[in-house]
Structure 1
Amino acid sequence: MTQQTLLTEPELIKIYQQLHQIPELAMQEKQTHAFLLATIRKFDQTYLEIRTPKALPTALLVLIHGKQPQRTIGYRTDIDALPVQEQTGLPFASQNAGVMHACGHDIHMSVALGLLNYFAVHQPVDNLLFFFQPAEESLNGGKTAYEKQIFQGQWRPDEFYGLHDNPELPVGAIGCRMGTLFAGTTEVNVDFYGKGGHAAFPQDANDMVVAASQFIVQVQTIISRSVDPIEGGVITFGKFDAGSIRNVIAGHARLEGTIRGLTQKMITHIDQRIREVARGIAESYQAKVVVDLNQGGYWPVENNPELTRNFIQYMKAASHVQFIETKPAMTGEDFGYLLAKFPGTMFWLGVADTSQLHSATLKPNPRAIKLGIEAIKGFLSYRMENK
């Protein structure tokens, strides 16, 4: 590929295969960063400005200066991978043991590079800011970037867009909805402290298995009786640790779980109710109950009404786009934090696979890359022409 030329579909697929082979975990994306930077430097540089923030060294920002800019439109892609041992059997499988692009971020990056390449050749009307974000899967990359103030001055978008691949949608289809696309997630850890003792003398102990069990039962009523059933929510405790042997009463128990909600208001409400239930259990069982709630940057992905309506209208009208209105997903995505700070829209790109996201056998259809680029570049051009 030379300057002033557009990436062909075979070249885009080759990029995807190369990225697939070098997956890296959150905040460790050095090889990925180097590959992205080297690829972008091959593009026409006339309108480009590239920045690697010192405060977030595996992140990459690329600004394409528009010819008559009235705003800066941001486009975000995530670049990290998951601690999953690949089992696809692909000839370009992961070369890093125990790490895999099992969430399709290699597809995300390939689409972003294709878009960047197109607008590097065809100067946009407005400024375009491409944000290659580390640490989506863990460590709150979007929140970290915001808190480290990397979106300042000309690097601050007026609106933000981003995609996530979806194995359940047809290849190249665009999915979106008004309102929440992804739920917010909160990690919940609850420790119960009582008094251990002999199983034969329960009157001399304070059993935290019983206290923790009663807590779990009461927490289930938060969703069934404290949450609007139309809005919904999820509380799941997947881990319960207590005791060491069958004939000793446990003086300590620990629960680990997750909360999911479709709005930040709902997440906050569920958090509050969990703390209230914990206080009741502590009082009832004369125990010490410590609740640790950690949401980090995994806020609900709440799409901006005006921008999302505009996005959906374009995609529905575009003859080359298969648009599908989707339901909200209870999975999490840290783009929600950025959408709480900047108006914007997140959407799905169909990759037509029988395996689910985060699966060791995920094999997205790479034909989605070119189709996704065509749909998104059309929308961005439309957006810039319609102030």
Structure 2
Amino acid sequence: MEKQRQAPLTESQLINIYQELHQIPELAMQEVETHAYLEKVVRQFDQTNLEIKVPDEMPTALLVLVHGSAPVRTIGYRTDIDGLPVEEQTGLPFSSTHPNVMHACGHDIHMSVALGLLSYFASHQPKDNLLFFFQPAEESLNGGKTAYEQNVFTGKWRPDEFYGLHDNPDLPVGAIGCRMGTLFAGTTEVDVDFYGKGGHAAFPQDANDMVVAASQFINQVQTIVSRSVDPIEGGVITFGKFEAGSIRNVIAGRAHLEGTIRGLTQTMIEHIDQRIKEVADGIAQSYQARVEVKLNQGGYWPVENNPVLTKNFITCMKQAKNVQFIETQPAMTGEDFGYLLAKIPGTMFWLGVEDDSQLHSATLKPNPKAIWLGVTAISGFLNDRMNQ
């Protein structure tokens, strides 16, 4: 007689898991308690077709391979697991127990959906192989890029296509949102240092004022988006930090700027990067100063959805019963799944959690009813995909 398989997690069990994960948020690459919790839950599933891997290179990461019955591909599903340095102000009875750390981006929802999917396919063997990647350090430290560069995805652990979600408080509970093209913008951190010559305010001819040079740089950079970027494509350059000088009657010989670039394609971000360097070179020559530009993108590339796989995903979700599909606009926020999608074709999509507070807010309270609706919609898509 065939052994009876363990039943998948129920909705109430998944909500309980969500509440427990919500209480133990941890920052990037410090997700030790979260990792232990996830692994404990996964090892309670039917292990017949499961294979678990904890990469030495990323000890808080967790990979789970579900062996398919007749695999023709390996389908990857990624969830992020880290929290944010935010002091929670929700008043929930299951609020964070870790001071100044909170799941303010809804990664507890993400993990709960992933565990629901994994428990379903542990109990119902899929046709294709499924690879679940519980990823550390999405919010900082480039967890996706780090995993890829550390060769975490090799051999049977490399998916042929990758999928992942992000919760969205602006969408109705359980709604699936997606679009062709870019879902999230890419981001690049920009630091600019100006080196001139300090001096007395009464003798400007004997100094080289870097407040003036940096101010002119900022003004000229604003013309990059308005005059060097296709208005249909769009881009954003913001300098939010300007440091210079020490006292009112001394000309500053140094200045420091910190800013961010946002773009909807990697090509656009690289174009803006180049124009910033060119403006800096011009300022250096004009003001006889030394100007150093540091650009750091890390893994926060634009989330550019694969056209073929995304069209298939959207078609499936539109046709699915009991799934509310909404075509969404691109967001200028960053997500490090973009780096993985630049290396492995795939699709990212939204899961509606309907809340008045926004992501990264201390008062974010996603509706947990979205978890079960997400598991149902995504498992339906994966089964459909495997039957193609």
Aligned residue type for 1:164: H
CA offsets, 1:245-270, max 9 Å, x none?
11111000000000000000000000
Tell me, what secondary structure is at the counterpart of 1:290? strand
| Counterpart residue number, 1:304 | 306
| Counterparts of residues 1-387 of structure 1 (less than 5 Å) | 4-386=6-388
Q: Which runs of 5+ in 2 are unaligned?
A: none
Change (3 A) 1:250 1:3: farther
TM (norm. structure 2) is 0.99
Structure 1 residue 61, shift from structure 2 partner: 0.1
Aligned residue type for 2:211: V
Structure 1 residue 8, shift from structure 2 partner: 1.1
Structure 1 stretches of 4+ with a deviation exceeding 3 A read none
How far apart, in 1, do the equivalents of 2:51 and 2:212 lie? 61
Tell me, what secondary structure is at the counterpart of 1:81? coil
Tell me, what secondary structure is at the counterpart of 1:73? strand
Tell me, what secondary structure is at the counterpart of 2:214? helix
TM (norm. structure 1) is 0.99
Structure 1 residue 3, shift from structure 2 partner: 6.2
Structure 1 residue 6, shift from structure 2 partner: 1.5
Structure 1 residue 17, shift from structure 2 partner: 0.3
How far apart, in 2, do the equivalents of 1:6 and 1:233 lie? 44
How far apart, in 2, do the equivalents of 1:324 and 1:194 lie? 53
Aligned residue type for 2:50: L
Q: How much is the aligned-residue C-alpha RMSD, in angstroms?
A: 0.7
Tell me, what secondary structure is at the counterpart of 1:368? helix
Structure 1 residue 301, shift from structure 2 partner: 0.2
How far apart, in 2, do the equivalents of 1:237 and 1:113 lie? 40
Between Structure 1 and Structure 2, how many residues are aligned?
385
How far apart, in 1, do the equivalents of 2:7 and 2:318 lie? 30
Tell me, what secondary structure is at the counterpart of 2:37? helix
Tell me, what secondary structure is at the counterpart of 2:215? helix
Percent of residue pairs identical: 80
CA offsets, 1:259-299, max 9 Å, x none?
00000000000000000000000000000000000000000
Structure 1 residue 319, shift from structure 2 partner: 1.6
How far apart, in 2, do the equivalents of 1:204 and 1:76 lie? 59
CA offsets, 1:279-338, max 9 Å, x none?
000000000000000000000000000000000000001121000000000000000000
Structure 1 contact 3–43 (Cα < 8 Å) conserved: no
Structure 1 residue 37, shift from structure 2 partner: 0.2
CA offsets, 1:40-64, max 9 Å, x none?
0010000000000001100000000
CA offsets, 1:99-146, max 9 Å, x none?
000000000000000000000000000000000000000000000000
How far apart, in 1, do the equivalents of 2:243 and 2:370 lie? 44
Structure 1 contact 159–342 (Cα < 8 Å) conserved: yes
CA offsets, 1:156-182, max 9 Å, x none?
000000000000000000000000000
Q: Which runs of 5+ in 1 are unaligned?
A: none
How far apart, in 1, do the equivalents of 2:209 and 2:16 lie? 59
Aligned residue type for 2:317: M
Aligned residue type for 2:20: Q
Structure 1 contact 3–42 (Cα < 8 Å) conserved: no
Change (3 A) 1:96 1:267: same
CA offsets, 1:22-48, max 9 Å, x none?
000000000000000000001000000
How far apart, in 2, do the equivalents of 1:94 and 1:198 lie? 53
How far apart, in 1, do the equivalents of 2:290 and 2:28 lie? 35
Structure 1 residue 7, shift from structure 2 partner: 1.0
Structure 1 contact 102–357 (Cα < 8 Å) conserved: yes
Aligned residue type for 2:255: A
CA offsets, 1:335-380, max 9 Å, x none?
0000000000000000000000000000000000000000000000
Moved more, 186-195 or 3-12: 3-12
Aligned residue type for 1:254: H
Structure 1 contact 182–333 (Cα < 8 Å) conserved: yes
How far apart, in 2, do the equivalents of 1:3 and 1:241 lie? 63
